Amino acid sequence: MTSIKQLFSLQEMDQALDRIQGQTAEVEQQLASHLAVEQLEAALAADAERLQDTQRLQRAQQMEVDTLRERSAQLDQRLYGTDVTNPRELPILQEEAERSRDLLKQQEATLQELAQKVTDIQTRCQTLEKEAADAKSDWQALQTQLGAQLKTLASEREGIVATRSRLASSVTPSELSSYETLRVRKGGKAVARVERGLCQACRMSLPTQHLQRVRSGRQTVFCSSCGRILFLG
């Protein structure tokens, strides 16, 4: 007959395997998510694009300003030069030169705003680049650490699996299968330790007769309250 102690040891190994599986899943999840780096890189890419667009606008605006400045200078030259022979032409020319100067001022202000915008985006890009580089190196360090954790967990698992299979082969197949079924039904715990007359899984006290049968160790006794196999360790 299979001793309850064997089943209890089996359960300890199964619980260790559950823990290893949980920890492995956690590490794998961490390895799959490197959000910080991804988010920073996405923000950086968006800003790089914005920078290009703004610089394109800035160049177009610079051309516009250059053209206007040239035109304004030409008008002023005509106005203050000796070209104007018809006196009626003068006020028209004056008005045009004034309009041209105003327009130039407006366009220069717009150009300045664009230049400021470019500087702001460049500053932000530099900050993001540094943050992304930091996040990347943090992530690489974490990756190495997580990889090492996975290796440790895998070798720990391998050791337990080998011992468990040796132990499982010493248990009768029918008892092994009822243990496994019970373990699934009872949230991972098929065998409950008995201490001070209490089932340690459900904390109910055992009737004296029950306790005596557990003590004798000659048969499998189930807790009358939670249905687990009782083990006097």
In the complex, minimum distance from the CB of residue 180 to Zn ion, in angstroms, rounded to a whole number = 19
Q: Is 223 in the site for Zn ion (CB under 5 A)?
A: yes
Among 48, 103, 226, 232, binds Zn ion (CB under 5 A): 226
Tokens 């250059």 belong to 66
d(CA 210, CA 191): 15
Q: Is 202 in the site for Zn ion (CB under 5 A)?
A: yes
Stretch that binds Zn ion, among 4-12, 92-100, 156-164, 217-225 (CB under 5 A): 217-225
Instruction: List binders of Zn ion among 109-148 (CB under 5 A).
Output: none
Of 171 and 199, CB closest to Zn ion: 199
Tokens 């248990």 belong to 171
Among 40, 199, 206, 229, binds Zn ion (CB under 5 A): 199
Stretch that binds Zn ion, among 66-74, 78-86, 168-176, 191-199 (CB under 5 A): 191-199
In Å, the largest CA–CA distance within the chain is: 132
Q: Which burial class, exposed, middle or buried, applies to 201 when counting CB atoms under 10 A from its CB (0-12, 13-18, 19+)?
A: buried
| Phi, psi angles (nearest 5°) of residue 184 | -65, -45
Stretch that binds Zn ion, among 67-75, 78-86, 107-115, 218-226 (CB under 5 A): 218-226
Of 50 and 227, CB closest to Zn ion: 227
Distances (CA, A) of 97 to 76, 77, 88, 94: 6, 10, 15, 5
d(CA 65, CA 63): 5
Q: Is 55 in the site for Zn ion (CB under 5 A)?
A: no
Q: Which residues bind Zn ion (CB under 5 A)?
A: 199, 201-202, 223, 225-226
